[in-house]
Structure 1
Amino acid sequence: MSTPALPSRRTLLTGAAAAVAVAATAGAPAAGAATRAATGAATRAASATGDGSRPLARTTAGLVAGTTEGRTAVFRGVPYAAPPVGPLRFASPRPPRPWRGVREATAFSSPSYQSVLPGSSEDSLYANIWTPDTAGSRPVLVYIHGGGWFLGAGSEEVYDGQRLADRGDLVVVTFNYRLGALGWGSHPELADPDTGHHANWGLQDQAALLHWVRANARAFGGDPDNITLAGTSAGGSSTWQLALLPELRPVVRRIVPISAAHVWAPAMALTPDDSVSAYERLAAALGTTVAGLRDADAARLKSAWEQLFAGRPEQRALGSGRAYRGPVVDGHWMRGYDHELPTPRVPVLSVHTATEGSFFTGPASPSPSPAPTNEEQLHAAVRACLLRGAPAVSDDLVARCVADYRSAALADRLPTDPLSLWTEVWGDSLFRRPVIRLAERHARTGTSPVYAAEFAHPVHAPHFGTPHEATSRFLFGTHRLPSQAPVFGDTDLERTVSDTFIDLVASFARTGVPSTGRSSALPAFAPGRPTALILGGPEVTRLSELPKQRQLRFWDESGWGPRM
């Protein structure tokens, strides 16, 4: 039997810049082509009241017709902003253009422009909505997909919202936002003439989507005053940053950051100066000015951006953005890195996986490299991890990291083989440590409750642990899909774990306090006490202190990475 690959890995937050090795899509997308086609379908004759066989919803831009799947009404490809093409490339999002008649909302839009998903397009700012009924006033759960800020789409099969909407009695919204050079950067010469903003267009898209959801929630049976924002990886990072924006405080009621890729430089973002340099280098490579990038061929622009961040981080022209290029500090959309700012003022349900790193070191890694099998190879692999967050790494720091992780593993009776140690270093450095430390800070200093959960349901061999992004399969109930079940399982146990996860998030969205049918309400997180929910495995749920705390001491004491 062949080794099953981790499904849909292209939508997940990938491991390093080398993951962008997929060849650039040939040719730039035709500006507005998807919109013209969809508008043509929308304006075909249709009754404003429908024919009784399909659900209708009246949005602020016009009437849309969806489909019914099981007990759920589904609306796909509903525009929440105007296509960011032509003069609107690098512009703040504009409202969608109104239409007459009924617009068909039965097919997903193109993914946002990227090198990974086929058929991607700059014309991609569309939402997908699953609802048990267009009447009523249910909690709304908006989910932001991950993908390292350069790939992914809300239309991926793992984010199908039918099961989550049905069991949770929620209105579930997924959507696309701008990616890569078109979505995450900053340069003053790209300032929008109307808003003055010149940065983080993907984050601006996400904020526009939230305003659109609030304005249109009632049309889909949702409560506009009860919107919970959830997301995984890069999407989990966005939930945190959006909750910090003053203009969104009336919109976002609570957040569920899952395996959040908290932003800091040089690992997870470009510095402002490096971002300016990046766009100037991009313009020079394309023979134009920075402002002229609005008219540049999209494929050439994307290819030049990916080339700028190809190869090992220590060999690149720019010193930051060494692992990912997330939001850039610009004084408005990002006032500072996550560890420099107060925590959000809304209730937080913080989730991480037990083995974040096994997504990157396992057999389906998006940036595969040989697993270390001896001490020399382990030191080289750990050095590569540390170089994502520092311009130089000494032999002593590498040796200390290995020694501290081995000592922690022995104390906790965990494996000490090179692959296991490398996996823990990988996951802790960029994900588990920032997630836990910021949850602890919120518990100490925040003005709202924070709840902590570790998702610990194991995947099937030869995959191992509970990888980064395993959570989305269980939150959406898509672990049971034929493409997913060989890795994530579809026994009664997996279905129970999935239902419990849905119940946990749905109760939090409904009341602000997470609970499940298997346990009483989860207590607010108190570091050092058994107040975290461990979800997964034969027990399904149990309360505990967060495991593997010894491992995190290295990062706190070594000076590597931000002070949390």
Structure 2
Amino acid sequence: AAPAESEDCLFLNVWTAGLGADRKRPVMVWLHGGGYAMGTASSLLYDGTNLARRGDVVVVGVNHRLNVFGYTHFGDIGGPEYAHSGNAGQLDIVAALQWVKENIDRFGGDPDRVMIFGESGGGGKVSMLLASPPAKGLFHRAVIQSGPGVMMGERAPATKAAEMLLAELKLDARRLPEIHKLPTDVILSAYFAVTAAWARQKNQGRAFMPVLDPVDLPGHPYHPTATRVSEDVPVMVGWNKTESTVFSFGDEQAFALDEAAMSKRIESLVGADAGRLIQAYRTEFPEMSPSEVYFYISSYSMMGADSIRIAERKAAIGKAPAYLYRLDWETPVEGGRLISPHGLEMPLVFDNVDRGGEGLTGGVDAAKKLAAVMSEAWVALAAGGDPNSDKSGLPQWPPYDSEKRATMVFDTESRVVNDPQKEQRLIFEKTGDRT
């Protein structure tokens, strides 16, 4: 394996229950998070040993180019030679999936039962692959965990970011080829300067992320006009109840809000509907503190609303099922104040509560029991395109539809709830459809 941070990053980690082509096991291809900017498939949290053993599957972790090396759109200033530069990181993943198709049988895997799954930025990568013609046919099921990714980068702002990078490097479009001769640390230094300036300018979206492209990504995933290259692929999508608590580290005020401060924060998220939304949560959850109301609403705004939108649109196409979930189990770490934070589902899905997942779950027995349930559901989806399994112990999980809106709520006692928090959903729908 390459060093933890290296331009030499195009390698895979493979875990299998057995080598050889005599047994064709489902294949689960993991795409790590990190907002297209950082991360690695080599984290202990993503170790596939337990999952491979539990589910008799093959687990593949993908490393690929990130940030400035994977998502700088020079296509509109550098000519045809740079046409795919804005999606190089995604095309690395496509190449990895092609490798899986051609070689995974040697590791006991079935190239016709490949599931991609990813969390946070990894969920965004899954979303892009679902709308990417080059990836068609390379995977057969998909899971988007806490990273809906309904919007990708537009070409104009992506070009602006590329021009800012060149300016930081004292280059211009005519001298673009010289960038290949620059040391990695020089390019990274310029990248950090650009991302800082991008944030100060309050530009919309990320400076370096997948970008719309007529070949690699013809349209935003899930848009009504998006290409339907993956319309026959079953999709599971979901989020954690209070994703935003983990993003509030360093903002201690968020954990001690009074009613006025909470209302102000919610208004900045949803505008004039803040009062109605707060009242809806207060009615359903009267025991919540102002901080908890903020965390619930901001998490729904951040992840929940778009997760539901994906399930709705997948169900409307009608070619393959969509399954929606919400993780409600509350971790005891940090005195319980994180509730159900961003990332909590990862040690549960990988069955790694005791293997890199202690910091998120506390390593408690309740987490281990839920890990057995959730990992079996993910394995079942990989194996047959349906998360229902006698091994998981879950109640029957129906596909999502616009009538019942069945949602699996993962908790100490998991349950299916039809259209949970309906009033809140309807209020969010009024605030506007980003796609």
In the superposition, the TM-score normalised over structure 2's length comes to 0.88
Instruction: Check 1:179–1:169 CA distance in 2 against 1; reply closer, same or farther (3 A cut).
Output: same
Once the two structures are superposed, residues 5-41 of structure 1 have per-residue CA deviations (whole angstroms, 9 ceiling, x without a partner) of: xxxxxxxxxxxxxxxxxxxxxxxxxxxxxxxxxxxxx
- Judge conservation of contact 1:459–1:489 (CA < 8 Å) in 2: yes
Matching residue within 348, 356, 374 for 2:235: 348
- What's 1:425 paired with? 297
Once the two structures are superposed, residues 144-193 of structure 1 have per-residue CA deviations (whole angstroms, 9 ceiling, x without a partner) of: 00111111100011101000110011000002111111112312245564
1:524-539 paired onto structure 2 within 5 Å? 524-529=399-404, 531-537=406-412, 539=413
1:89-128 paired onto structure 2 within 5 Å? 109-111=2-4, 120-128=5-13
Once structures 1 and 2 are overlaid, which stretch shifts more, 524-533 or 281-290? 524-533
Matching residue within 38, 47, 56 for 1:160: 47
Instruction: Check 1:174–1:464 CA distance in 2 against 1; reply closer, same or farther (3 A cut).
Output: same
- What's 2:434 paired with? 562
- What's 1:505 paired with? 378
Deviation at 1:435, TM superposition (A): 0.8
Deviation at 1:443, TM superposition (A): 1.3
- Judge conservation of contact 1:190–1:198 (CA < 8 Å) in 2: no
Deviation at 1:259, TM superposition (A): 1.3
Deviation at 1:417, TM superposition (A): 3.3
Deviation at 1:402, TM superposition (A): 3.1
Answering whether residue 356 of structure 2 is matched by residue 479 of structure 1, we say: no
The AA in structure 1 aligned to 2:168 is A
- Judge conservation of contact 1:241–1:334 (CA < 8 Å) in 2: yes
Aligned to 2:353, what secondary structure does the other structure show? Answer: helix
- What's 2:61 paired with? 174
Instruction: Check 1:487–1:224 CA distance in 2 against 1; reply closer, same or farther (3 A cut).
Output: closer
- What's 2:308 paired with? 436
Instruction: Check 1:235–1:180 CA distance in 2 against 1; reply closer, same or farther (3 A cut).
Output: same
1:124-523 paired onto structure 2 within 5 Å? 124-135=9-20, 136-188=23-75, 189-190=77-78, 193=81, 196-264=83-151, 270-290=153-173, 291=176, 292-310=178-196, 313=199, 315-316=200-201, 319-321=203-205, 325-340=208-223, 341=226, 344-345=230-231, 346-361=233-248, 365=249, 368=251, 370-371=253-254, 373-379=257-263, 381-382=265-266, 386=269, 398=271, 400-460=272-332, 461-481=335-355, 484-485=357-358, 487-516=360-389, 517=391, 518-519=393-394, 521-523=396-398
- Judge conservation of contact 1:237–1:262 (CA < 8 Å) in 2: yes
Deviation at 1:110, TM superposition (A): 2.6
Instruction: Check 1:342–1:467 CA distance in 2 against 1; reply closer, same or farther (3 A cut).
Output: farther
The AA in structure 2 aligned to 1:349 is M
Aligned to 2:114, what secondary structure does the other structure show? Answer: strand
Deviation at 1:457, TM superposition (A): 1.6
Deviation at 1:478, TM superposition (A): 1.7
Aligned-residue CA RMSD (Å): 2.5
Structure 2, unpaired ranges of 5+? none
CA distance in 1, matches of 2:71, 2:170: 22
CA distance in 2, matches of 1:415, 1:528: 30
Structure 1, unpaired ranges of 5+? 1-76, 78-108, 112-119, 387-396
CA distance in 2, matches of 1:252, 1:465: 34
Instruction: Check 1:279–1:459 CA distance in 2 against 1; reply closer, same or farther (3 A cut).
Output: same
Instruction: Check 1:307–1:422 CA distance in 2 against 1; reply closer, same or farther (3 A cut).
Output: farther
Once the two structures are superposed, residues 113-153 of structure 1 have per-residue CA deviations (whole angstroms, 9 ceiling, x without a partner) of: xxxxxxx1111111000001002211111010011111110
Deviation at 1:473, TM superposition (A): 0.8
- Judge conservation of contact 1:454–1:546 (CA < 8 Å) in 2: no
- Judge conservation of contact 1:146–1:232 (CA < 8 Å) in 2: yes
Deviation at 1:487, TM superposition (A): 4.1
Deviation at 1:286, TM superposition (A): 1.3
CA distance in 1, matches of 2:168, 2:394: 58
CA distance in 2, matches of 1:441, 1:277: 32
- Judge conservation of contact 1:217–1:223 (CA < 8 Å) in 2: yes
- Judge conservation of contact 1:141–1:230 (CA < 8 Å) in 2: yes
The AA in structure 2 aligned to 1:373 is L
CA distance in 2, matches of 1:525, 1:439: 7
- Judge conservation of contact 2:28–2:116 (CA < 8 Å) in 1: yes
Instruction: Check 1:369–1:326 CA distance in 2 against 1; reply closer, same or farther (3 A cut).
Output: farther
Deviation at 1:303, TM superposition (A): 2.4
Deviation at 1:330, TM superposition (A): 1.8
CA distance in 2, matches of 1:431, 1:407: 21
- Judge conservation of contact 2:161–2:208 (CA < 8 Å) in 1: no
Between Structure 1 and Structure 2, the one with more helix by share is 2
Instruction: Check 1:437–1:530 CA distance in 2 against 1; reply closer, same or farther (3 A cut).
Output: closer
Aligned to 1:153, what secondary structure does the other structure show? Answer: coil
